[in-house]
Amino acid sequence: MKKIQRIYEHKDYQHYLSEITQMEVDRVYCKHDMAHFLDVARIAWIMCLENEIKYDKTWVYACGLLHDIGRGCQYATGEPHEVASTRLAKGILEDAGFEVEEIEVILEAISSHRSKAISSQQDLAGILYRADKASRACYTCKSIEKCNWSNDKKNLKIEV
């Protein structure tokens, strides 16, 4: 998992991460921090194992760590964060040592991680979408009433 550590230690990654942390300091809704990124990575990996969907573990973790890295751009300019994340993730993945074909699959998943159209796909994009949604603990959230997620989207029970 050296490549994943390289992503985490990348100076741009750390920069975008700290920008998001500062911008979300007063946010009452779900944050976009390392806890969320690792929750998504681990849930996505469990989904791969349970459904016998064979992806390299580093691809799954790369998606988890990078899918929301463009959140700061969205706050600053209004650019949709899946677009910003895809743009910012490319150079970080290259520097971390991923091959061109690997980067293509990872970026495809990141760029579509908010698209309902791919939500049930049995591929990395579909898994990232579902893991992202499943990662949110709505049942324990103090801002649940104000949240703009529809009730059918919220995780109101612990699903096993």
Q: Please list every residue from 117 through 136 that binds Fe ion, using CB under 5 A.
A: 132
Cα dist from 21 to 76, 106, 112, 139, whole Å: 13, 24, 24, 23
Nearest to Fe ion of 68, 72 (CB atom): 68
Q: How far is the CB of 40 from Fe ion (least distance, A)?
A: 6
d(CA 110, CA 96): 17
Q: Which one of residues 68, 71, 103, 109 is an interface residue with Fe ion (CB under 5 A)?
A: 68
Which helix (H) or strand (E) element contains residue 127?
Answer: helix 124-134
Nearest to Fe ion of 10, 136 (CB atom): 136
Nearest to Fe ion of 58, 135 (CB atom): 135
* Residue 82 touching Fe ion (CB under 5 A): no
Query: Residue 128 in contact with residue 109, Cβ under 8 Å?
Result: yes
Q: Which residues bind Fe ion (CB under 5 A)?
A: 68, 132
